[in-house]
Structure 1
């Protein structure tokens, strides 16, 4: 019993030491408060829109009818865009999820070709991918329109495609196996 307690204490000390040594780094988000007394000119707003840094503004009214704007800047140290799909407006997120669901629905539709034992699985998969690709293009367009990081955009489209293709191939293979099994049940195999 004493050796068990000793082993548990050693494990706990090891975990504590590991956590102490490998502390996660904290992300620093810059915050600036700007008070506006005059409207922003059109050229200034175009400059702000063209920058690679995402500025989100929360306007709060003050008792003096002046507005103060709090800007939070989401940038990495090298200045790349760090906007994620979670940072998009709610209606854009809804549009993104709708495009993903439409793509999955298109890919997983049961088609008569799946049950034909004379067609190649690769041909069926290629045809289905070609039919459903516009839905994936819609997803990337929504992400691009909302200025989501390019790497996240590409990675998300790739992940959605890979997962759905795996499900599609599984469904096609199962349908073809079921078709072969039903044909075997109708015509007995010759035995020698």
Structure 2
């Protein structure tokens, strides 16, 4: 067992992680790596054979709240995301498929939904790209129906039109579910 796997050290680092939730993920990971290094060096210089010796080394490092307060004082807090804003963005993206298909003038909401998605801090760029692509599928399908006449040999959808349309309209809804799940993942 390495020293960072010691239950007291894991507990200490978990406490620091909880207390530094307001830090950016990069800064928090950097702080935790520095603490692990300090703990390893201190325990290597002074071999800890008992839990009391490990507690002594951890006490010298400082209270997790004090460490967090110091780190938070050095960096502005990470942007907080509103759960209602998350639901509004996802709902608007999911509704854009229906709006585009059945009320094209209201499909302009698609532009707003995509802009709002890209300005939201709770998703990674990969998640935003997936949401954008899925929201654009109904619009592209609608444009394809105007461009490719139904009577074109080999390109008409015939009996597949309704099931395919329903599947296309489900893309933004599926992307909404994906975005909700990814917003709930810890960063």
Name the one with the larger strand percent: 1
User: TM-score with structure 1 length normalisation?
Assistant: 0.32
Q: Using structure 2 for the length normalisation, give the TM-score.
A: 0.33
Where relative contact order (Cα < 8 A, 6+ residues apart) is larger, the structure is 2
Indicate the structure with greater helix content.
2
